[in-house]
Amino acid sequence: MTAITAPRPGAQGVLGPALRAVGTEAGKGLALMWRRRAITITGIALNGLLYLMIQFFIGGGHLVLPVLALTLPALIAYIVAATAALQGSGGIAEEVNAGTLEQVHLSPARPSLLAAGRLAALAAEGLIPAIVLALAFGLGYRPHWAISPDALVPLALTIADALGYGLLMTALTLRLASIGAVVHVFNMAVMFLGGLFVPITLFPHGIEIFARFVPTALGVEVLNTTLAGRGLAAAWADGTLPWLLAHVAVLAALGWLAYLHTLRRARREGGLSAR
């Protein structure tokens, strides 16, 4: 009988195993997504239809292209955020019930690497339907967007904001029994206040201020600024970009730390599985 030795650090490097741990978790997430692809496809179709109906409704039976140009970024942000929150929370709840979360944490890899892998899979799961719908509506209706490299900054920040939100909901799943309802309410908030119906700049002032705290809302606002042909400088000058940076930093850090903290706590008290 020999003990299995721990790998000597330096012998095979640190980065290789770390990347493999992240890749393994991400790969599993994608494999599980593939198994439920029917749901993903239905979700894409339903979200697309819902969005179209809302746009027709707002346009009084017509599709108003300028409104579509301003709200389509919000649809994309909403889908990433809502998917990350739903699948993140539902996925971890399922793993708790199935006992696989415990098995995952019998890995020698650090929990933060496993979390990174899980997040990567969530990002993919949210981005795939978002990209499909963006292409469908973008190519179908050709909104007047001034696409420039500047837009990549708020796009990346909005995705980070959405994932931070998703991770926070995932973390809360380990603590709140009623997380399903919580995610539902927050996802509705992102849908109504994130600029999916009308751009938040058209909201009454008080609601606009409040809406900016909702995940992805500020990101969509800055994205709209750049897509309207005004550069990042304009977004910086009107204060939305600095606020967006702060929002992303806080939400992403909160999501990440909350996730690692609840995991650590659950590991202490046997909360990684349902009893």
Ligand X SMILES: Nc1ncnc2c1ncn2[C@@H]1O[C@H](COP(=O)(O)OP(=O)(O)OP(=O)(O)O)[C@@H](O)[C@H]1O
Return residues touching ligand X (CB under 6 A): 269-270, 275
In whole angstroms, the minimum distance from the beta carbon of 142 to other proteins comes to 39
In whole angstroms, the minimum distance from the beta carbon of 170 to ligand X comes to 20
Nearer to other proteins, 120 or 272 (CB): 272
Nearer to ligand X, 34 or 269 (CB): 269
In whole angstroms, the minimum distance from the beta carbon of 271 to ligand X comes to 6
In whole angstroms, the minimum distance from the beta carbon of 3 to other proteins comes to 3
Residue 11 binds which one of ligand X, other proteins, none, with CB within 5 to 8 A depending on kind?
none
Residue 108 binds which one of other proteins, ligand X, none, with CB within 5 to 8 A depending on kind?
other proteins
Q: Which residue is nearest to ligand X (CB)?
A: 270
Tell me which residues touch other proteins (CB under 8 A): 1-7, 17, 20-21, 24-25, 27-28, 31-32, 35-36, 97-100, 102-109, 267-270, 272-274
SS3 per-residue string spanning the chain: CCCCCCCCCCCCCCHHHHHHHHHHHHHHHHHHHHHCHHHHHHHHHHHHHHHHHHHHHHCCCCCCHHHHHHHHHHHHHHHHHHHHHHHHHHHHHHHHHHCHHHHHCCCCCCHHHHHHHHHHHHHHHHHHHHHHHHHHHHHHHCCCCCCCHHHHHHHHHHHHHHHHHHHHHHHHHCCCCCHHHHHHHHHHHHHHHCCCCCCHHHCCHHHHHHHCCCCCHHHHHHHHHHHCCCCHHHHHHCCHHHHHHHHHHHHHHHHHHHHHHHHHHHHHHCCCCCC
Residue 42 binds which one of other proteins, ligand X, none, with CB within 5 to 8 A depending on kind?
none
